[in-house]
């Protein structure tokens, strides 16, 4: 009888007791809005921003309603406007080009490598051909490009870098926190990310005026002095009358849930990476299956794993995915012709101009993606790896016999 897995790929760990207690305290006093604070009180959201800035090593942090809002706000804060061209990875998720399109700007997609990182040669070529002055860099699924080389390319061309760190909170490149190379780092606290408030996000920056504009954009009105991880008041005097209010604040309830999770992040990353290593070890030598290599200079967060099935026809990969699903292993395939759940790709986003990315097409054609929630045990991960290997070998043997 074929081995089956019975766990859930969408069940997260419970909110820590300290977060539940803090949330109840906010509900009991009723001051959920971030600027609704008692005399002398620094609210939960302001405290969270202060703690997140300290965690990442940033001068300033801003808590907002979502990671997608963080990206749109970041680009507005550095002056992106309708009609501007903005570079981004050809392999990412829809909120990234969506943030660009929300400003009326035009996404210009850059090829990705087999290691799922942005192709630096194509980036240099696209900078020259497009004239774009902003790169919204997606650290998609936590795969970190050589950040020193990327910044050298962008700095030489005067291209501002906004980092999408939705999958790299807790990651670093040579000891520098993800999000700290570009002018702004953007993070997500959505349920399937590395800290969980259902929805939510952050921006971090060391730039006084950029962060002042982001705070005004987020809906501070003239209450910016109630922030803690914030530029001096005189910086706001320069921007407060010409920066629109596009409200996207985080509230004190979500901030209360998140604050106890921040000190746990380092240990959580270790747990994710142990699960990742267990699955990777189990599938690494499987015929017909290609493991994605991670750069040793970067510390990643293994909250998901990706691998390639190169050279197979679409119907063969679909058969593999269905075979795994029948045995309880939920995989997502980025090469499918039609978008499914979150697995859309650049040619699905019709709000962006049609573009040709042949290298990316080849990679996505065989790209498989799988979540690794911390509710899985290490034994669960071994079971999952055996099922994937078994189904991949069945596929390989079937194709060889044809």
Residues 284-330 pLDDT 10s? 999 999 999 999 999 999 999 999 999 999 999 999 999 999 999 99
Dihedral (CA of 356, 357, 363, 364) sign: negative
Gap between the Cα atoms of 385 and 331, Å rounded = 12
Assign domain 17-264 to a CATH class: alpha beta
Q: Output the six-digit token pair for 269.
A: 């990353």
Q: Could you tell me the CA-to-CA distances from 112 to 116, 165, 258, 311, 320 in Å, in that order?
A: 6, 17, 33, 18, 24
**Cβ atoms of residues 265 and 54 within 8 Å:** no
For the chain, the structural domain boundaries read 17-264, 265-401
Among 293, 299, 296, which residue's Cα sits nearest to residue 273? 299
| Helix pair 95-102, 67-77: axis angle to 10 deg | 40
User: By C-alpha distance, which of 177, 215, 182, 188 is closest to 88?
Assistant: 182
Q: Which CATH class is domain 265-401?
A: alpha beta
pTM of the predicted model as reported, rounded to 2 decimal places? 0.96
Q: What is the pLDDT along the chain (402 residues), one digit of tens a residue?
A: 589 999 999 999 999 999 999 999 999 999 999 999 998 899 999 999 999 999 999 999 999 999 999 999 999 999 999 999 999 999 999 999 999 999 999 999 999 999 999 999 999 999 999 999 999 999 999 999 999 999 999 999 999 999 999 999 999 999 999 999 999 999 999 999 999 999 999 999 999 999 999 999 999 999 999 999 999 999 999 999 999 999 999 999 999 999 999 999 999 999 999 999 999 999 999 999 999 999 999 999 999 999 999 999 999 999 999 999 999 999 999 998 888 888 889 999 999 999 999 999 999 999 999 999 999 999 999 999 999 999 999 988 877 777
Q: Do domains 17-264 and 265-401 have the same CATH topology?
A: no
């Amino acid at each position: 009888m074929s081995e089956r897995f019975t766990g859930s790929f969408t069940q997260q760990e419970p909110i820590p007791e300290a977060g539940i207690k803090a949330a109840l305290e906010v509900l009991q006093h009723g001051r959920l809005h971030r600027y609704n604070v008692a005399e002398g009180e620094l609210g939960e959201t302001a405290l969270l921003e202060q703690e997140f800035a300290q965690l990442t090593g940033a001068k300033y942090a801003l808590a907002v309603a979502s990671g997608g809002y963080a990206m749109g706000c970041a680009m507005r804060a550095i002056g992106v406007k309708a009609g501007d061209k903005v570079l981004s990875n050809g392999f990412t998720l829809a909120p990234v080009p969506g943030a660009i399109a929300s400003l009326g700007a035009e996404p210009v997609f850059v090829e990705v490598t087999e290691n799922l990182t942005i192709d630096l040669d194509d980036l240099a070529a696209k900078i020259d051909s497009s004239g774009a002055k902003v790169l919204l860099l997606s650290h998609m699924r936590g795969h970190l490009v050589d950040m020193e080389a990327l910044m050298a390319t962008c700095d030489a061309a005067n291209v501002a870098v906004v980092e999408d760190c939705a999958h790299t909170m807790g990651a670093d490149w040579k000891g520098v926190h993800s999000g700290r190379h570009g002018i702004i780092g953007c993070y997500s606290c959505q349920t399937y990310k590395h800290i969980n408030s259902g929805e939510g996000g952050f921006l971090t920056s060391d730039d006084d005026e950029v962060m002042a504009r982001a705070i005004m954009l987020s809906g501070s009105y003239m209450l910016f002095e109630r922030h803690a991880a914030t530029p001096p008041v005189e910086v706001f005097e320069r921007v407060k009358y010409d920066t629109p209010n596009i409200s996207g604040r985080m509230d004190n309830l979500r901030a209360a849930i998140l604050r106890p999770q921040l000190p746990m992040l380092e240990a959580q990353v270790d747990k994710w990476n142990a699960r990742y290593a267990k699955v990777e070890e189990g599938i690494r030598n499987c015929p017909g299956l290609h493991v994605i290599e991670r750069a040793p200079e970067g510390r990643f967060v293994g909250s998901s794993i990706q691998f390639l099935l190169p050279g197979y026809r679409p119907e063969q990969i679909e058969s593999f995915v269905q075979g795994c699903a029948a045995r309880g292993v939920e995989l997502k395939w980025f090469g499918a012709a039609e978008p499914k759940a979150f697995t859309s790709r650049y040619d699905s986003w019709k709000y962006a101009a049609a573009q040709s990315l042949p290298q990316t097409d080849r990679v996505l054609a065989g790209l498989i993606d799988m979540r690794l929630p911390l509710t899985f045990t290490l034994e669960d991960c071994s079971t999952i790896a055996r099922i994937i290997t078994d189904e991949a070998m069945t596929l390989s043997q079937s194709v060889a016999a044809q």
